[in-house]
């Protein structure tokens, strides 16, 4: 994953596939970046995610809870095709602002 921090906003560009096998490393990477940068807004960018199952929902919900402890917000962008479908199924828009991709 690549990360970019501009003061209050931390953007994490996720890459590859999100399943139960890969989610753990992603979780650790994102949480490390959150505790280092202490952002008020975390943007998770899904543009380079080629596959996601419900492990991605767990990943997003877990980061939401982590951010909430410091009153920070979460936003998801570039949710393509099935990824958008799965996020909607889970009602993620109640926790985070979501932006559909192409």
Partner 1 sequence: MENNKFALKITSRSCNESFARVTVAAFAAALDPTVEEIADIKTAVSEAVTNCSVHAYPNSIGLVYISGEILKDNVIKIKIRDKGCGIEDIEQAMQPLFTTGGEERAGLGFAVMESMMDSVRVISKKGKGTSVTMKKRISRKDDAR
The residue ranges that bind partner 1 (CB under 8 A) are 17, 19-21, 23, 27, 51-55, 57-59, 61-62, 65, 81-82, 85-86, 89-90
- Shortest CB 13 distance to partner 1, Å: 21
Q: Half-sphere exposure of residue 65, counting CA atoms within 13 Å on the CB side?
A: 6
Structural tokens at position 87: 């996020």
Paired with 76 in beta bridges are: 44, 98
11 φ, ψ to 5°? -110, 130
* Spatial separation of the C-alpha atoms in residues 59 and 87, rounded to whole Å: 11
Of 8 and 28, CB closest to partner 1 = 28
* Spatial separation of the C-alpha atoms in residues 61 and 93, rounded to whole Å: 11
- Shortest CB 7 distance to partner 1, Å: 29
Of 2 and 20, CB closest to partner 1 = 20
- Shortest CB 8 distance to partner 1, Å: 26
Of 14 and 59, CB closest to partner 1 = 59
């Amino acid at each position: 994953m690549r990360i970019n921090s501009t003061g209050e906003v931390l953007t994490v560009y996720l890459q590859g596939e999100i399943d139960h096998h890969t989610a753990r490393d992603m979780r650790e990477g994102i949480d490390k970046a959150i505790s280092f940068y202490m952002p008020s807004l975390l943007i998770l960018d899904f543009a380079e995610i080629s596959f996601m199952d419900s492990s991605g929902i767990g990943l997003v919900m877990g980061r939401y809870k982590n951010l909430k402890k410091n009153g920070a917000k979460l936003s998801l962008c570039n949710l393509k095709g099935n990824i958008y479908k799965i996020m909607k199924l889970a009602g993620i828009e109640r926790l985070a602002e979501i932006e559909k991709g192409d």
